[in-house]
Amino acid sequence: KIQLNTGGGSFPWHYDNPGPPNLRALTCVVYLNPTWKDGDGGEIVLWPFLSKSTKVSPLHRRAVLFYSDRVLHRVLPSKKRRVCFTIWSPGTNVNSKRDVALSKDVLQFTSYDQAVQFFSQSPLQRLISRAVYSEEYLESLLECIEGTRGGDGEDAASASESVSSAEKERVVKQHNASVMSIVSKLRPLIDEFRRRKECIENEHAN
């Protein structure tokens, strides 16, 4: 897949393989931006579950590889023309039953440390990440719709004004409903994961 952004566009937090019937196992993004420089935007941010996030610049001929079903990522707003192409490699055991169903048997952890280790290595993290990273998900969603409406050449304030309050409210409501459906079933686990996420962020901010 070839992608061309002329400026202003971005992508919210997501997984390249959100679940069945998708067969993507590995993502490879190759950038073709010979004039890119700091400040142009369009970086990809990779956020392994409950680990430090990593921002990668879209430098010319740079390739970025990651697991499609277990690496949360997004693309930051691009201020300049940005070109890349993406290749997805399919897997034979992608989205098996153990990777898509969050049953009581799966949740038999003896400690939160064990739970963290399990979800960090399992595609099942896709089922709870929106709740764990709730604020970040919503922020990126709103940023994307504002950037899309704003178009190339408009500043952030103008773009924000062009998005109706009703549209923002709809996005917020859908997001909150999705998060609450998860939290209502797994509140102690989600609360602990959120606490650990904040600790990691504070540790790397200092």
pLDDT at 6: 84
| pLDDT in the model for residue 157 | 45
pLDDT of res. 156: 45
What pLDDT does 162 receive? 57
Q: Contact, 102 vs 127, CB < 8 A?
A: yes
Using a pLDDT cut of 70, give the percent of the chain over it. Answer: 92
- Confidence tier at 161 by pLDDT (50, 70, 90): low
Q: Is the separation of the CB atoms in 11 and 74 below 8 Å?
A: yes
Strand, helix or coil at 190?
helix
110, two tokens = 């003896």
Locate tokens 């923002």: which residue? 168
Question: Which of 95-99, 104-108, 115-119 reaches the highest mean pLDDT?
Answer: 115-119
Mean pLDDT, residues 181-202 taken together: 96
Residue 97 pLDDT more than 70? yes
- Position 60 scores a pLDDT of 97
In DSSP terms, which residues pair with 73 in a beta bridge? 14, 46
Specify the pLDDT at position 7: 78
Q: Residue 152: its pLDDT value, please?
A: 46
Structure tokens at 10: 């971005």
Q: What is the mean pLDDT of the chain?
A: 91
Q: How far apart are the first and last CA of the chain?
A: 39
61-64: Cβ within 8 A, 24+ apart: 61/30, 61/31, 61/32, 62/30, 62/31, 63/28, 63/29, 63/30, 63/31, 64/27, 64/28, 64/29, 64/31
- Residue 127 neighbours by CB distance under 10 Å: 17
Q: What is the mean pLDDT of residues 16-37?
A: 97
The pLDDT tens digits of the residues spanning 138-159 come to: 999 999 888 755 444 444 444 4
Has residue 163 got a pLDDT over 90? no
Residue 125 · residue 49 · CB < 8 Å: yes
Q: Tell me, what's the pLDDT at 46?
A: 98
Peptide bond into 48 cis (omega under 30): no
| Average pLDDT for 73-93 | 95
188: its two tokens = 């102690």
